[in-house]
Structure 1
Amino acid sequence: MSQNTESREEAIARLAKSASDLEARTTREAQSDAAGQAVAGQAYKVVAQLLGGVFLGIGAGFVFDRFAGTAPWGVIGGVLLGFAVSLWMAWQTAKRLMAQAAAAGVEPRSIPFDDANDEER
């Protein structure tokens, strides 16, 4: 068996470097997870706005039909109006998020299409 010629100070320095590398890697992963959760939360908010506008339009149209006796035109108009309002709200949210990303210095990336799956079919 060969004797390890590494001095005690060298071993401590090597272990300290390994520990700092591990800490940096875990901190980076935790920050990445938090950023991913924030993006997912914003995506859920946009989806909720899209669905909420339509459902609110259905409800308002139903109430209008009950009092005005114009069934089914109130529900149809409510759905269309709710859909238009929900699209406008989602557009405003997307513009606000893009402005926040631009202010933070984040460059938008284009996601390439995966045409490999199309060729196999």
Structure 2
Amino acid sequence: MPKADETNDKAFDSLDARLAAFEARKAAEKPAKAGAEKANQDGYRLLADLIGGVLVGLGFGWLLDRYVHTSPWGMVGGLLIGLGLAIFSIVRKAMKLSAQASATSSKGGDDEHMGDGPTVPKQKRD
């Protein structure tokens, strides 16, 4: 019977080694895919915010027209207000995403200079 246990131990060791190799391959592929997926998600989120802002503005304008009887002007005003607020919101989110992306790229430890800093060297102060 001891031989059967030794064979099982070797099989488990072999399985562990193959599993570790598989996980290492998957971990190496993950960062490349994660960056592209995050960019797509952020773009779709900004697009949804734009469309949602316009539709909400139109909805409020339609309600105003319906109950106050200001026929086309409620929808026109709602459209303009919704579009303005949506653009304002998108610009704020895009600035925040840009700041996060530049912070993570500077933390990455890459020695390549991306050209995003000042070109004049800093001078020492006495």
Give the TM-score of the pair, scaled to structure 1.
0.65
- 1:27 positional shift: 3.1
Identify which range, 61-70 or 100-109, moves more after superposition: 100-109
Structure 2: gaps (5+ residues): 1-20, 107-113, 117-126
Per the alignment, residue 71 of structure 1 pairs with 71
Determine what percentage of the aligned residue pairs are the same residue: 34
Per the alignment, residue 51 of structure 2 pairs with 51
Per the alignment, residue 93 of structure 2 pairs with 93
CA distance in 1, matches of 2:31, 2:90: 27
What secondary structure does 1:72 align onto?
helix
Per the alignment, residue 60 of structure 1 pairs with 60
**What do you get for the CA RMSD once the two structures are aligned?**
2.5
Structure 1: gaps (5+ residues): 1-19, 110-121
AA in 2 matched with 1:39: A
CA distance in 2, matches of 1:98, 1:63: 37
CA distance in 2, matches of 1:53, 1:108: 35
- 1:23 positional shift: 7.3
Give the TM-score of the pair, scaled to structure 2.
0.62
- Report runs of 4+ in structure 1 exceeding 4 Å deviation: 22-26, 106-109
Instruction: Spell out, residue by residue over 1:20-73, the C-alpha distance to the aligned partner (whole angstroms, 9 max, x if none).
Output: 7x9766533222112211111111100001000000001000001111100110
AA in 2 matched with 1:92: R
AA in 2 matched with 1:79: L
